[in-house]
Structure 1
Amino acid sequence: MTDTVIVVAGAIVRDGSLLAAQRAEPAQMRGRWELPGGKVDPGETDEAALVRECREELGADVRPLARIGTEAPFPQRVGAPPAVLRVWLCEVLDGEPAALEHLALRWLGPEAIDGLDWLPADRPFLGEIRRHLNGG
């Protein structure tokens, strides 16, 4: 049996806005938007993986505050193990996020979230993130 790959992403919020990151690669995802993050390594907690990934991708330190929703499955790819996405509400502790591995970053108010071409795995979390940005 193949183990499920756990991927974590940060709904990084500041002053009522959400940080969105535009994918640079792979080619089939280039230009689409996502919440920054990555795979959880063996023996690593979700929170530690998210802190590590944001430091690598954004050059900033974040603090995970709370899990958002449940987990969402990634579309199954031939020959790849199943994978799920877990999203955490986060705040920036240190540094200004920069697009070190992305094409661009954008801070979005709740009204602008639906205006981007999000990756499918991130979409199930956007409603709850919007509610959080609106104070609920």
Structure 2
Amino acid sequence: MSLVANRSSLLFVVAAALVDGDGRVLVQQRPPGKPMAGLWEFPGGKVEAGEVPEAALARELAEELGIAVETACLAPATFASEPLGDRHLLLLLYALRKWSGMPQAKHASALKWVRPLELHALEMPPADKPLIGLLEALI
């Protein structure tokens, strides 16, 4: 195993497990034309230079789902670390139970509310799969 040579080869990503009152989690389907099109994932995105992870996630959720999030409501849950081509993905997953607005698929093909156990049956990116067990324990 080799060490990541520099920070520019790290892809720093944040995502949210939105949890509704029934204990279901929101996932979105990647649209055609994007890498890993058709796979289901937790909403989120890249952390831009100069952003803290929570601010990046609040921004991404507003852009992708049209919801408003208070950063204080983002509870760190777990992370994933995966090789991704010539880069390395570091994904921070936050649990979120409180937001304003109704989630809409602004940049995804579809949204789906599922129980954590049902996540195992969905086709998901490799970095998202290891996060399912923890979500089952948390929810």
State whether residues 40 and 124 of structure 2, in contact with CA within 8 Å, keep that contact through their aligned partners in structure 1.
yes
- Aligned residue number for residue 38 of structure 2: 31
Pick closer, same or farther for the CA change 1:93–1:31 going to 2, 3 Å: same
- Aligned residue number for residue 72 of structure 1: 80
TM-score, L = length of structure 2: 0.85
> Identity, % of aligned pairs?
38
Structure 1 or 2: more strand by fraction: 1
Query: Whole-Å Cα distance in 2 between the matches of residues 49 and 40 of structure 1?
Result: 5
- Aligned residue number for residue 125 of structure 2: 119
The one-letter amino acid of 1:104's match is: A
Count of matched residue positions in the alignment of Structure 1 and Structure 2: 130
The one-letter amino acid of 2:27's match is: A
Query: Whole-Å Cα distance in 2 between the matches of residues 114 and 19 of structure 1?
Result: 14
Aligned equivalent of 1:14, options 20, 45, 70 = 20
In structure 1, runs of 5+ residues without a counterpart are none
Superposition pairs of residues 75-86 of structure 1, within 5 angstroms: 75-78=83-86, 81-86=87-92
State the 1:25 CA deviation: 4.5
State whether residues 116 and 132 of structure 2, in contact with CA within 8 Å, keep that contact through their aligned partners in structure 1.
no
Per-residue deviation, residues 82-136 of structure 1 (Å, max 9, x unmatched)? 2211101113421100111001000011332212111111111111111222xxx
Runs of 4+ in 1 over 6 A off after TM superposition: none
Pick closer, same or farther for the CA change 1:49–1:27 going to 2, 3 Å: closer
In structure 2, runs of 5+ residues without a counterpart are none
Query: Whole-Å Cα distance in 1 between the matches of residues 81 and 116 of structure 2?
Result: 24
State whether residues 67 and 103 of structure 2, in contact with CA within 8 Å, keep that contact through their aligned partners in structure 1.
yes
